[in-house]
Structure 1
Amino acid sequence: MRKIILLTAIAGMNFTSLFACEICGGGLGSNYTGLLPNFNKRFVGIRYHFNYVNTQLDVDGKTTALSNKEKYHTAELWSAWNIGSRWRVMAIVPYSHIEKFNYGTDSKSKKDGLGDINLSGYFNLLNKESVFTQSIWVGVGAKLPTGQYNKDEFTNMNSPNIYQLGTGSVDFTGSVNYDIRLNNIGLNTNASYKVNTKNKDDYQYGNKLTLNGSVYYNTALSSDIKLRPNVGLQYENQAKDHTMDYQIDETGGYNTNTNLGLEATLRGVAFGFSYQTPIAQNISKGRTELVNKFLTHLTFTF
């Protein structure tokens, strides 16, 4: 069975992560998937991921009366289908709950709604079994502007425009995934690049590069219960945003995360989780801080 992992379909910029700040927002966060569950033909399931960030920090990265603590909860319906031996299609439909807390006024605000739907297709360029088992998948994806974008949320050119359910734009992603395995130990690497277009309110999020790699180990507790622990790194770099042809300086940046995860399967049911914590970051010139990210799923394979 092929190992295809770490597919970055692009949510608005989810799988995921950078800024200004796509990497952290509900409909804007990077669409990091972690290792996909093992499946033969298709799967469908529910995922939940959580992002926690601090925004509008001072120039030293400390909280002030203007700073916010923002939490992004997203539940997603996700599914992938293999078509023949070389093609795969994947869809992710997110629904987000966002909370914002202001340190200076103790005020709270929140919003809920459908996020940006992601559709992607992949082609199996290489599938080779010898001493090493290897596979290469290439993919393209599109993010649809199904999540609400509120132009009135962007009122400060010195803060990231991330308190949004969606980007309001159609965006595109290309990705390459390479997997190599010797017996039960494997290495999976993925590179993706997302091109963001301008929305109807003349706002354009910066393009984003995502690189990640994970080492995993296949093991079995019994003939029915199989486990795949994994550990790796993820690097994200996002260009600065633009509005009305002006560059927004307090946007863009990079971060590097460590990833720790586990995939478990019991016959046709798969469970997985992935935890990410930053080891280096400079987002929005240090005025946005990514605290942590967590993802889990319950998926049925058939």
Structure 2
Amino acid sequence: MSCVAAVFALFTTTKVNAQGCVAIRSTGGLCAMDEHPDSASAAEGSWLLNSNSRYFRSYKHFVGTAEQKQRIALGTNVINHAYTNDITLTRIFNNRWSFAVDVPIVDNSRSSLYEHGGKERLQTHSFGLGDVRLTAYAWLLNPAKARKGNIQVGLGLKLATGAYNYQDYFYHQGTTDAKVLGPVDQSIQLGDGGTGITTEINAYYNFTHKFGVYGGFYYLMSPREQNGVSTARGGTASAKAIANGSDIMSVPDQVMLRAGASYGTGKFDFSAGARYECLPVHDLVGGSNGFRRPGNILSAEPGVTFRLKTLSIYAFVPVALRRERTQSVPDKISTDLTGTYTQGDAAFADYAVNIGITYRFK
């Protein structure tokens, strides 16, 4: 069942964590779509322990879909290094129901000129616990009858356990070379400060023993509009930021879609698919004001999984095909106030690396 084997690792890496300044941070771990619900691995009372490491380097700036190549040429681009390790423990109650707890550990750094006086590239950092996620999963179809394919739904809570006011020093070079302690940029904060509701739909279908297709949908709904954290990096917010509402960080929704095909041979399973990640301009519930960098990334996502009896090792590398920084609510307010079209930028990565291991035990 190649598709079943592939979705084991594919949904292990179902983390909404876009590749850049668009602050879509890791909010999920192992989806329960890990094994066929009728397989021995899904036996009543079994456990799954997953460790997934994700890394990317964002450094290319976009306004809309247009890359701002001059930023790299001039050395004014922002460079983010983002690393997240998700430890996820899943309890499989039976071949239909399971429950997962995901605990992310986050290590980020960000270098820039503009945040430190504009004369020298310096760094800020953040490290610690991210936002924990709790999710219950259920297969919709009877596994005894739906042997070729099935649909799984998930409903959970994303907790505000990660620091969303993490602070580091900014160096405002000038006559005094002042060092100021302030909240780091939203893109490297450990959490967003909001309790959210997560929804998932995962599905697979096997055409043959070796070939199949998969698909998945994830949405994080964040009712809280703003988290109260200043965007002034330890300084005083500008009149423009106050006027358009970007002086305080927003708590945005998050979206992800995945689809593809897989092929299994021996102990290996190979997959090729598409991955779409989005931080929307407007939330489904609650307001949408405050500072955010809305945008989306469409990626090609090849992957490989090596499977043993109780252990699986996988690697997935989504490679960006299209990157877009959309117009935020503060951008729209500035456009209305000034009569001049305003749209901010964001830095994106070329690719991300997901490497993980999953162990099944009683």
Above 0.5 in TM-score?
Answer: yes
Letter in 2 for 1:269: L
Give the Cα separation in 2 of the matches to 1:131 and 1:122.
Answer: 17
Q: Which residue of 1 aligns with 2:236?
A: none
Match of 1:190 among 210, 213, 216: 216
Structure with greater strand share of residues: 1
Equivalent position to 1:61, from 65, 68, 86: 68
Alignment partner of 1:297 is 2:356: yes
Q: Which amino acid aligns with 2:261?
A: V
- Deviation at residue 122 of structure 1 after TM alignment: 0.7
Residue 289 of structure 2 corresponds to which residue in structure 1?
A: 247
- Aligned in 2, Cα 1:257/1:127: closer, same or farther, shift over 3 Å? farther
Tell me whether 94-103 or 124-133 shows the greater mean CA deviation: 124-133
Q: For residue 84 of structure 1, what is the amino acid of its counterpart? A: N
Structure 1 partner of 2:332: none
Note if 1:135 corresponds to 2:194: no
CA distance in 2: counterparts of 1:279 and 1:33, whole angstroms: 26
Mapped partners of 1:9, 1:270: distance in 2: 13
Instruction: Give how far 1:208 is off.
Output: 2.4
Question: Runs of 5+ in structure 1 lacking a partner?
Answer: 221-225
Q: CA deviation at 1:50?
A: 0.6
Q: Give the TM-score of the pair, scaled to structure 2.
A: 0.68
Secondary structure in structure 2 of the residue aligned to 1:16? coil
Q: Structure 1 pair 111/19, CA: closer, same or farther in 2 (3 Å)? A: closer
2:321 pairs with 1:279: yes
Counterparts in 2 of 1:170 and 1:89: CA distance versus 1, 3 Å? same
Distance 1:55 1:117, change over 3 A: farther
How far is the alpha carbon of 1:294 from its aligned partner?
A: 0.8
Aligned-pair CA distance for 1:134: 0.8
Q: Closer, same or farther in 2 for the Cα pair 1:263/1:298, shift >3 Å?
A: same
Closer, same or farther: CA 8–299 of 1 in aligned 2, 3 Å:
closer
CA distance in 2 between counterparts of 1:248 and 1:29 reads 21
Cα pair distance change 1:99/1:164, threshold 3 Å: same
- Rg (Cα) greater in structure: 2
Higher mean Cα deviation, 196-205 or 75-84? 196-205
| Identity fraction in percent | 18
2:186 alignment partner, SS class: coil
For residue 267 of structure 1, give the secondary structure of its aligned residue in structure 2.
coil
The answer for the alignment partner of 1:216 in structure 2 is 262
Change in Cα spacing, 1:249 to 1:98, as seen in structure 2 (3 Å) is: closer
Q: Would you say the 8 A contact 2:106–2:190 is kept in 1?
A: yes
What is the number of equivalent residue pairs in this alignment? 285
Counterpart Cα distance in 2 of 1:48 and 1:9: 9
Equivalent position amino acid for 1:53 in 2: S
| Aligned mates of 1:35, 1:187 — CA distance in 2 | 17
1:45 maps to 2:86: no
Shift of 1:67: 2.7
Greater shift, 183-192 or 279-288, is seen at 279-288
- Aligned partner (choices 123, 139, 144) of residue 108 of structure 1: 123
Aligned pairs for 1:124-163 (under 5 A) are 124-127=139-142, 133-150=148-165, 161-163=186-188
Aligned pair 1:96/2:106, yes or no? yes
In structure 2, relative to structure 1, the CA distance for the partners of 1:290 and 1:197 (3 Å cut) is farther
Asked if 1:262 is matched to 2:269, the reply is no
Relative to 1, partners in 2 of residues 1:274 and 1:8: Cα closer, same or farther, differing over 3 Å? closer
SS in structure 2 of the partner of residue 162 of structure 1: helix
The question of 1:205 aligning with 2:251 is answered yes
Paired letter, 1:163: I
Change (3 A) 1:227 1:250: same
Instruction: Please give the alpha-carbon distance, in whole angstroms, between the structure 2 residues aligned to 1:35 and 1:76.
Output: 15
Contact 1:17 1:30 in 2 (8 A): no
Q: Deviations over 1:38-66 (max 9, x none)?
A: 44332113221112212766785232554
The structure where helix makes up a greater share of residues is 2
Q: Is the 8 A contact 1:18 1:283 kept in 2?
A: no
Aligned residue in 2 for 1:223: none
2 CA distance for matches of 1:131 and 1:170?
Answer: 35
Give the TM-score taking structure 1 as reference length: 0.81
